[in-house]
Structures are given as structure tokens and as C-alpha cells.
Amino acid sequence: MSRPGQGVMLPVNGLGFPPQNVARVVVWEWLNEHSRWRPYTATVCHHIENVLKEDARGSVVLGQVDAQLVPYIIDLQSMHQFRQDTGTMRPVRRNFYDPSSAPGKGIVWEWESDGGAWTAYDMDICITIQNAYEKQHPWLDLSSLGFCYLIYFNSMSQMNRQTRRRRRLRRRLDLAYPLTVGSIPKSQSWPVGASSGQPCSCQQCLLVNSTRAASNAILASQRRKAPPAPPPPQPPPGGPAGTLAVRPSATFAGAALWAAPAAGPAEPAQPPGAPPRSPSAPGGAPTPGQNNLNRPGPQRATSVSARASIPPGVPALPVKNLNGTGPVHPALAGMTGILLCAAGLPVCLTRAPKPILHPPPVSKSDVKPVPGVPGVCRKTKKKHLKKSKNPEDVVRRYMQKVKNPPDEDCTICMERLVTASGYEGVLRHKGVRPELVGRLGRCGHMYHLLCLVAMYSNGNKDGSLQCPTCKAIYGEKTGTQPPGKMEFHLIPHSLPGFADTQTIRIVYDIPTGIQGPEHPNPGKKFTARGFPRHCYLPNNEKGRKVLRLLITAWERRLIFTIGTSNTTGESDTVVWNEIHHKTEFGSNLTGHGYPDASYLDNVLAELTAQGVSEAVAKA
């Protein structure tokens, strides 16, 4: 099914504004980590538009209308969303659609995630689905939008064409997005004058407003030093009016200062490092401090990266740590960028390059087994609990009875060793008196026997025991990793820092399933995000040693566990289990790649802490 709504051509007057009687629906969107523009809700968009009318160069506190967006502020001058607690900055844009489209009617299409939450589609997809729905089509193919999904309106479901998996979708009526008519409001001075009303007294507004006095002083100083700006170029008398293409899903370039002539030739690409040229005056520089709300994406990016026409004596101050990769805290870097941008000073909002997660494509004939490591795959099955492991028998196996214990604390119950265990009356085991004290064989640390029985009974109950003081492991420790598959092989590519060696690629694959009795919520479904997961080691002696120990850890179910993700906050999902892996192939932007001179030694230490070492394996 073809994509509806290919846009219309509208005549533009000499100033570059669209006709005053053209109405458009305004949707504000932010750019996520997958380079997709995600729409704000209609309520948030109304709030942003209200602030824009009062102060086109100010800041928008999103937490005033949406409690889930409390940490976020939008800086209208740089067109970036700023998160106060982390310093993360993301581009935002002001997009325009036809009033008869889904956002103009307040119609939202959503799909259901694995956790039962409903997520809105991107606005382009939402409009396409609504158009097909209104035309009473029985189904819709989203491949024209770059997605391998089919929408079935009879069953209100979405199906993945590759996996055949289905999800529910729904059509919901919400507040209509704001409507604007005519030209875009011109830039205003910041801060807003007395006509804007009393300032808000919430904590976020106090934080934003507290920075404005300093910004205004810098701005006033700059204006005193800056030479007078030349008047903007006037269009030739009687010049032909241009045309401007307005598409339902394209950002509208409405202001005359940013509109390029429709019939003019395309500008040649500028060499790297060359200063940006103003779209309105070839070879000239844009005036600093002008609002860029309505600039097309490429022009806006150029203006944000370098503010031209810098007054003499005002140095450019780059703010490069927006992704937390440098020594400066990202929150400080982000707030510095907002302050300098608001004051009209040049700000370089640089972004770290995208990590290289995977190697170039490899043919099957180039994939080889790892020398010295038998096989290419290991599978784990569902764990069978060993009911014969009596907690008392396990504890006595690794402990020696102490007749005259010292007068010091038991670090489990925090009672004195010369007194009864703190678990007296809570836990009862035949033959284990609460005053009995034992010493672990290798490390020599002493505890109440009843305390160790309680600790073992609350753990994995796999026949092993771990000293709570020094973490020494007695027996063979196993984990709670769900069933899955581990593959490993050589690929003919080198990791950064290991130019003369090939690479060992490890592929972990764990499907979703039901939690067992050893997991946090037995009988409940668990999710497995991001699988298969690819990890990399250098093919040298130490890298092959790490691989052999990782295979042992996999077979003991120690690589993964079920818990709460530190990244997404999702519970009942498969997460890493304290053995770090390198998942970034060609860079080290996330800290999970190469070069990293200490990684192999660190992961060997982590494996040893889990009871996995060559000495134990040989024994």
C-alpha cells in the first residue's frame, strides 16, 4: 500500500512566509537514540507552544504538565531537550501536519509491548495508519515506511513479517494537537518582559530562572561590544515569488531568513572545517542569537554547531561533553551550553560518534573454530534441583567445629560467637544447636553453624558455599541462568589494539520463558532483551584462556541471571551477572569495547570471584 499524503506546492510571498490563511497542526518531536523522531503528547505540545508565544528564546519546563518529564527542559534557542540529572541533550524539532490528519483530530495509534504497556507510533506511521483506517482498508503494509510490519484492522493487531509474531494495537482519542495559522512568530528577547505574568515558583523554574540573571549580564556586555549588524538584504523589487513544498511529515521552513530560493541552483558542498554559510546570504554569516525554530534540519544543525558573526574578543567556547565521555560532568556541560546559547555566545554542541558494535559481514567459509577449544557451541538446559543436598550436610562438609570460639562478632547475625546464633527461634535444624561455631577450612573465618545453614538455605542451594567475608567459594558454584545457547568461532577481523590477531566472536542466545523455583518470581514469565548478544575477544593466548573459562561459567549458568535491568529498569528480565563482556567491536565509546589494556586481566579476576579458574577447572 502506498504512502498517502505526498504534500502540495504552495506559493510563497516575497518574504518567504506561507500564505496567512494556511492552517497547520504543530507537533513537537525529539530525536531518540535510534535516530527516530518521537512525538511529545498533545498536552506537552500545547505547553511548548504557549511558552513559545511568550518567549521564543526561552526554556520550557516539561514537568509542569507531565509528571513523567520532570527532569526535562527544552531550550528553544538551541532546539535541544536537556535532562537536568544526567546532562543528556537531544535535538527537538517543530513539525507541521495537515489539520485533517490524525494529530489534528487527536487520534493516537499505539502498540502493546511485552510488559503490557502501550506505546504511540511515530507520527508519520500514525498518520499513515489513520488514513488507511479511514479508507476502510482491511490491512496496511508498513514496508514503504521502512518497517517490516503488517497492520490488520479487523483484529486490531500488528504482525512482524519475518517472525510472524503479533502484537495488539489500539486507536485512542486524545487532545488534538495545537493549531497555528499564518507565519511563525518572530524571535523575542530573553527574558520576557513584565507582560508575561508572574514567574512560576516551582523548583524547576527556580533552577532555570536563577541562571537568567547571569545570562542577561553576559548578553548586555556582548551587545555593548558588538558592532552594529548590517540590515538584512531586501528582495529585488518585483522579484518573482518562490514556491515552498509543504509535506505532512516535513519540518516547515517558514521564516524568510532561512528560506532558500526555490529556483536557485544547489550549493556545492563545503570543505570540512569551513564556516557555515547563511542560507539567505551566500557567503555571509547569520546574525548571532537569531531563533532557529523553523529552520530545516540541515540548516539548523549548521547554525547550532557554530554561531557565526562572533564579535571581536569573544572566544568560541565548545561544549563537547554531552555524552559523558570527557572529564567534565555531562550535566555541567549541558547547562553551560544552554547558558552560553541563551546569551548569544558561540556554542559547539558536539556529539560522540556512534559506536561500531559489529564487524564487517563475514561469510560462512571465513568462520573458523577457535584453536585449542573443542566444539563451536554449548547449550544449557533447564536446571534440575538437587534435592539430596541437605543444608546441614553441605555446611558441615566445609567447616570444622570450634570448641572455644573467640569473643568476636559473627558477621552474619552480628551476635557474639560466644553466645547463641541470632537465628535461634527463627530456624530449627536437628543436630545444629544455636551455640555451635565452625571454621571454614581454607579461609579460616568463623560463624555460627546455624547462621551458615540459614545463609545456604536462602541461596541457590547447589551444594556450594561462599564465605560472606572474603567471598572464597567452597565446592562448585552454579547460578540461575535460564536455558540458552552459546556459540564461539574465529572471524578474520582484528580488534582495536590487537592489529595482528584475529577475533573470537561469542554469540549468546537466550529465549523468553517461565521462571523456575530458583528465580525471583517462580511461574512468572521473564523477558530476554537484546538477544542474540555478540561479544568479542582477541585470539591470543590470554583471550583463548578467557574463552575456556567463559565456557565453564556458561555451563555453570553464571553468565546471566534474572533480575532488574540497570539500563531500562525492567524487572523479570535476563541481565548480565557480574562478568563483564566486550559487546562493542570497532570502538570503545560505551566502555564496552577495545582498546582496553586491562580488560582480560579484569575479567579473569571476575571469573575467579565466581569460582571459575584454571586451577579449579583442572582439579
Q: Residue 276's closest CA among 298, 300, 253, 308?
A: 308
**What is the model's pLDDT at position 85?**
73
Q: Which of 10-24, 424-438, 516-530 comes out lowest in average pLDDT?
A: 10-24
Annotated domain spans of the chain: 24-180, 391-474, 485-610
The H-assigned helical ranges of 390-511 are 391-398, 449-457
Taking domain 391-474, whether its CATH number is 1.10.3260.10 is answered by: no
In this structure, the strands spanning 317-319 and 347-349 are parallel
**Residue 442 confidence (pLDDT) above 80:** yes
Cα distance between residue 533 and residue 100, in whole Å: 44
Between these two residues, 355 and 487, which has the higher pLDDT value?
487
Mean pLDDT computed over 145-149: 84
**Residue 286 confidence (pLDDT) above 60:** no
SS3 of 5-69: CCCEEEECCCCCCCCCCCEEEEEEEEECCCCCEEECCHHHHHHHHHHHHHCCCCEEEHHHCCHHH
Mean pLDDT computed over 435-446: 91
Q: Residue 288's closest CA among 270, 272, 304?
A: 304
Name every residue whose Cβ is closer than 8 Å to that of residue 321 and which is 6 or more positions away in sequence.
87, 327, 328, 329, 330, 333
φ, ψ for residue 283, nearest 5 deg: 85, -10
H/E element, 542 = helix 541-555
**What is the model's pLDDT at position 120?**
93
With b for 16 or more beta-carbon neighbours within 10 A and e for fewer, the 23-61 pattern comes to ebbbbbbbbeeeeebebbbbebbbbbbebbeebbbbbbb
Q: Which of 42-56, 257-271, 339-353, 428-442 comes out lowest in average pLDDT?
A: 257-271
Give the model confidence (pLDDT) of 206-228 as tens digits: 444 544 444 455 455 555 555 55
Mean pLDDT computed over 519-541: 94
**Residue 138 confidence (pLDDT) above 60:** yes
Q: Which of 66-75, 127-136, 240-249 comes out lowest in average pLDDT?
A: 240-249
Q: Is 205 left (phi over 0), alpha (psi -120 to 50) or beta?
A: alpha
Name every residue whose Cβ is closer than 8 Å to that of residue 243 and which is 6 or more positions away in sequence.
9, 10, 11, 12, 262
Sign of the four-CA dihedral 298, 304, 306, 308: positive
φ, ψ for residue 325, nearest 5 deg: -95, -5
**Residue 573 confidence (pLDDT) above 80:** yes
Cell of 405: 570460639
Mean pLDDT computed over 542-566: 94
Between these two residues, 262 and 454, which has the higher pLDDT value?
454
Tell me whether the CATH fold assigned to 391-474 matches the one assigned to 485-610: no
Strand partners, 438: 401, 447
**Residue 237 confidence (pLDDT) above 70:** no
Q: Are 484 and 380 in contact (CB under 8 A)?
A: yes
| C-alpha to C-alpha distances, 114 to 32, 101, 166, 244, 562, nearest whole angstrom | 20, 29, 11, 43, 16
Q: Are 76 and 93 in contact (CB under 8 A)?
A: no
* Local confidence band at 337 (pLDDT 50, 70, 90 cut-offs): low
Between these two residues, 569 and 444, which has the higher pLDDT value?
444
Q: Position of cell 511529545?
A: 40
**What is the model's pLDDT at position 454?**
86
**What is the model's pLDDT at position 382?**
64
Q: Are 537 and 582 in contact (CB under 8 A)?
A: yes
**Residue 185 confidence (pLDDT) above 60:** no
Cα distance between residue 502 and residue 488, in whole Å: 13
Angle, in degrees to the nearest 10, between helices 541-555 and 599-609? 30
H/E element, 103 = helix 102-105
H/E element, 118 = strand 118-120
| C-alpha to C-alpha distances, 417 to 401, 402, 446, 448, 571, nearest whole angstrom | 13, 10, 8, 7, 39
**What is the model's pLDDT at position 238?**
42
**Residue 493 confidence (pLDDT) above 80:** yes
Mean pLDDT computed over 303-330: 44
* Local confidence band at 470 (pLDDT 50, 70, 90 cut-offs): confident
Question: Residue 442 has what DSSP assignment?
Answer: T
Cα distance between residue 336 and residue 338, in whole Å: 5
Name every residue whose Cβ is closer than 8 Å to that of residue 537 and which is 6 or more positions away in sequence.
503, 504, 506, 543, 544, 546, 547, 582, 600
DSSP symbols for 131-151? HHHHTT-SEEEGGGGT--EEE
Please name the CATH architecture into which domain 485-610 falls. 2-Layer Sandwich (3.30)
H/E element, 232 = none
Mean pLDDT computed over 339-358: 66
**Residue 494 confidence (pLDDT) above 70:** yes
Q: Are 558 and 550 in contact (CB under 8 A)?
A: no
Q: Which of 44-53, 135-144, 296-305, 311-320 comes out lowest in average pLDDT?
A: 296-305
* Local confidence band at 77 (pLDDT 50, 70, 90 cut-offs): confident
Q: Position of cell 566444539?
A: 375
Q: Report the share of the chain in percent with pLDDT over 90.
A: 36
Cell of 161: 513479517
Q: Which of 194-198, 571-575, 613-617 comes out lowest in average pLDDT?
A: 194-198
In whole numbers, what is the pLDDT of the chain averaged over residues? Answer: 75
**Residue 489 confidence (pLDDT) above 90:** yes
Name every residue whose Cβ is closer than 8 Å to that of residue 510 and which is 6 or more positions away in sequence.
481, 482, 483, 484, 485, 528, 531, 560, 574
DSSP symbols for 318-372? EE--TTS-SSS-HHHHHHHHHHHHHTT--EEE--PPPP--SPSP--GGG-BPPTT
**What is the model's pLDDT at position 221?**
54
Between these two residues, 124 and 432, which has the higher pLDDT value?
124
pTM here?
A: 0.47
Between these two residues, 534 and 326, which has the higher pLDDT value?
534
Instruction: Tell me the Cα Rg of the chain.
Output: 32
**What is the model's pLDDT at position 114?**
83
The H-assigned helical ranges of 211-258 are 212-225
Taking domain 24-180, whether its CATH number is 1.10.3720.10 is answered by: no
Q: Is 596 left (phi over 0), alpha (psi -120 to 50) or beta?
A: beta
Strand partners, 83: 72
**Residue 146 confidence (pLDDT) above 90:** no
Most distant CA pair in the chain, distance: 108
Q: Which of 225-229, 323-327, 422-426 comes out lowest in average pLDDT?
A: 323-327
